Amino acid sequence: MTTTTCDYGCTIYGQHYSDCDGRDEIRECRGCLPRPAERDLRLCFACVNKTRNALAAVPGVVSWLRHVADLAKPPSSARLSDDIVATTDPSHSTVLHPAWLDADELESVIDSWISVIRAEHPNRRNMAGPNTDTFPGSANLWIDTHWIYLAMTDHAADFRGQIVGHVATLRHRYPEPDSAAPARPVNKPCPRCEHLTLVHQPIRYQGDETRIECTNDDCAAVLNDDEVTLIHYNAPTEAA
Q: What is the pLDDT of residues 201-222, one digit of tens each?
A: 876 544 456 788 888 888 888 8
pLDDT score at 178? 57
C-alpha–C-alpha distance, residues 71 and 73, integer Å: 6
pLDDT score at 125? 83
At 134 the three-state DSSP class reads coil
pLDDT 10s per residue in the chain (240 long)? 445 899 998 988 878 888 887 766 667 887 888 899 999 999 999 999 999 999 999 999 999 899 888 876 654 444 433 444 444 444 444 567 888 999 999 999 999 999 999 999 998 888 888 877 767 668 888 888 889 999 999 999 999 999 999 999 999 888 876 555 677 899 999 988 989 999 988 765 444 567 888 888 888 888 888 888 887 644 444 443
pLDDT score at 179? 54
At 110 the three-state DSSP class reads helix
Q: What is the pLDDT of residues 120-164, one digit of tens each?
A: 999 888 888 887 776 766 888 888 888 999 999 999 999 999 999
At 63 the three-state DSSP class reads helix
> Phi and psi at residue 17, in whole multiples of 5°?
-65, 155
45 within 8 A of 38, measured Cβ to Cβ: yes
C-alpha–C-alpha distance, residues 104 and 122, integer Å: 29
pLDDT score at 70? 80
pLDDT above 70 as % of the chain: 77
pLDDT score at 102? 94
Q: CB within 8 A of 42, min separation 6: which ones? A: 4, 6, 7, 151, 152, 153, 154, 156, 157
Pairing of strands 198-201, 211-214: antiparallel
pLDDT score at 13? 82
Q: What is each CA distance from 235 to 99, 136, 214, 216, 232, in whole angstroms?
A: 37, 38, 14, 20, 10
pLDDT score at 167? 95
